[in-house]
Amino acid sequence: MTQEKIFDNSPALSHLDHLGQSQMVDVSSKIPTVRQATAVGKVKMHIETFGAIQAGNAPKGDVLGTARLAGIMAAKQTANLIPLCHPLPLQKVEVKINPQPQLPGYEIQATVKTKAETGVEMEALTAVSVAALTLYDMAKALEKSIQIGSIHLVSKTGGKSGDYLRKCDE
């Protein structure tokens, strides 16, 4: 069976070909530029779990260090996880895990930088997501009800679409 429907390949549909099938966008004609993206997410838990992690008393060891390293490693593997992402040479991956006693829990922030033909938003979001999942894995012996959420892009610079800075009310 052949597909006969022809799709308008407008910029909003850049990952679809003229038949409406998924495709990797051709970025070969783009000039490499410096691009950076920052994403954040939150991991919420009981105050007792938060206290144990802060005190270094988790059964699996260094919860925050392991989660930070997992986030860095994940950013470097994004193209292997997200089907239409381009593999990118990353020049910087920074993952910060900040205690938030009022949550209680942690805010995870990832900043990724490259000089390439396409941006690093997905790498930053992947870093936050995997760091949060790793934090859960490292602390699940203490609490199974840990919540992961509010993962979003905070900012991006570079590229054709220009800079983006998330507004507080978004």
Options 8, 17, 137, 169, the catalytic residue: 137
Number of C-beta neighbours around residue 24 at 10 A: 12
Cβ neighbour number for residue 42 with a 10 Å cutoff? 17
CB within 8 Å of 20: residues ≥ 6 apart: 3, 5, 7
84 is in an annotated binding site: yes
Residue 103 assigned ligand-binding role: no
Q: Is 169 a catalytic residue?
A: no
Question: Which DSSP symbol is given to 118?
Answer: S
Is 107 labelled a binding residue? no
Give the C-alpha distances (Å, rounded to integers) separating 54 from 98, 102, 109, 143. Answer: 11, 14, 18, 15
Place of tokens 């396409």: 118
Q: Is 85 among the annotated ligand-binding positions?
A: yes
Answer yes or no: is 122 a known binding residue.
yes
Binding positions:
84-86, 122-123
Which residues line the annotated binding site for substrate? 84-86, 122-123
Residues acting as catalytic residues: 137
